[in-house]
Amino acid sequence: MANHKSALKRNRQSKKRNALNSINKTKSNNAVKKVREVLPTNPLEAEKRLKVAMSILHRSVTKGTLHKRTAARRIGRLSHQVYMRVVEAEDMEEKMEQQTKIDDE
């Protein structure tokens, strides 16, 4: 345990920062999990959740919890996954429409 006044203060500060950082990391990780959770079943909902996750990740950068490149990497990878699923879903809709046109003829 610290003995000097300054060391005691530093210890208090680090405990506060540790608590705040862990809260912010948990929020950002949970936001990313929510996007990945809904991604396979509902890509349009994943797009909405992606916007929320991006906001939370940017906020973590502002508060100093995450490095800006780390947040950018996570956002980039996540948005790429969402984009690919949305494109895949749109392709499936087009194929279904073409199939119904063929069946109607």
* Residue 87, token pair as written in the block: 């494109």
Q: What local confidence, expressed as pLDDT, does residue 25 receive?
A: 96
pLDDT single digits (tens) 50-74: 999 999 999 999 999 999 999 999 9
Q: How far apart are CA 53 and CA 33, in angstroms?
A: 9
Q: How far apart are CA 59 and CA 14, in angstroms?
A: 20
Q: What local confidence, expressed as pLDDT, does residue 104 receive?
A: 67
> Which CATH architecture fits 5-104?
Up-down Bundle (1.20)
CA dihedral angle for residue 1, residue 16, residue 35, residue 75, rounded to 10 degrees: -90
Q: What local confidence, expressed as pLDDT, does residue 102 receive?
A: 72
